[in-house]
Amino acid sequence: MAMKWNSTWLRMALTAVCCTCSVGAYADTVTVAVAANFSSTAQRIASDFSRASGHEVKQVPGATGKLYAQIKNGAPFHVLLSADDETPARLVKEGGALASSQFTYATGRLVLWSAQTGLVDNQGQVLTTSFTRLAIADPKLAPYGAAAMEVLAKRGLLPSVQTRLVQGESIAQTYQFVATGNAPLGFVALSQVMRNGQIDQGSAWRVPAELHQPLRQDAVLLQAGVGQAAAVAFLDYLRSDAARKVMQSAGYE
């Protein structure tokens, strides 16, 4: 279970770091491992954060499972923005992240999307037709892929579409399969196809949340980020009203 952000710990951490730094040396760079579905949204938030704080943000996007493997192999990430709540909790349990820093920063939404206008209706009935390929993210690496498999199973469609599945390594690659027409449709993150509150191209079915486990996305401070001012400040900013507005405009709850 994700633990709530400890505001007392945050103030103490910031104070401890700031007391050891001069004003001129305060600006730093935080390296953030970010789930592929959140990458573009994180870029907007990071840009606003940098203007407000003076800190720089370096992003490394990827499938959550792959990012976890990189962290375990010593990748020098300060913060993880996961596509689930299980991976940060696992890192905490294994001693790779700070328990008191874990919190849910967003809840994602899954959509069945096609770059073709009119192909996907608002009930997803296209899944029962003779389409050629259906793109999903690798369910072993990407929570959005696991959610897509849940949806297919609950609607009794998995046996009929199994041989037509095309797996992307991440939700970003899955989106590219559909956007380029290599697959006529696929399950992607709502944030990938939404702009200013509207799906900006193609056609989509917003999958009802009850058809899969909630896509709670948790953030956590990794061991490499403990005592690093920029990392602590970035996680704090992620909970601000300004960051939440950006996330909501991209389709996150």
Amino acid making up residue 191: S
Band of residue 171 on the pLDDT scale cut at 50, 70, 90: very high
Q: Give pLDDT tens digits for 136-149.
A: 999 999 999 999 99
Helix (H) or strand (E) holding 192: helix 190-193
Of 81, 170, 187, 213, nearest in space to 127 by CA: 187
**Residue in 106, 108, 163, 105 with CA at minimum distance from that of residue 134:** 163
Domains of the chain: 7-107+215-249 (3.40.190.10), 110-206 (3.40.190.10)
pLDDT given at position 18 = 45
Mean predicted confidence (pLDDT) in 203-231: 96
- CB-based contact 239:103 (threshold 8 Å): yes
Q: What backbone phi and psi angles, to 5 degrees, belong to 231?
A: -65, -45
For residue 27, the model assigns a pLDDT of 79
Position 6 confidence tier, pLDDT thresholds 50, 70, 90: low
70 versus 3: the higher-pLDDT residue is 70
Residue 45, Cβ density class (10 Å: 0-12 exposed, 13-18 middle, ≥19 buried): buried
pLDDT at 253: 85
CA dihedral 33, 102, 147, 206 (to 10 degrees): -90
Report the alpha-carbon angle 29-230-77, nearest 5: 65
Q: What is the average per-residue pLDDT within 188-208?
A: 91
* Average pLDDT of the segment spanning 159-179: 96
pLDDT, average across residues 240-244: 97
Radius of gyration of the chain (CA): 19
Does the pLDDT at position 61 exceed 90? yes
**Is the pLDDT at 22 greater than 60, yes or no?**
no
User: Any idea how long the chain is?
Assistant: 253
The answer to whether the CB of 94 falls within 8 A of the CB of 231 is no
In the predicted model, what is the mean pLDDT of the chain? 91
pLDDT for position 196: 76
pTM given for the model: 0.83
Looking at the predicted structure, is the pLDDT value of residue 75 above 60? yes
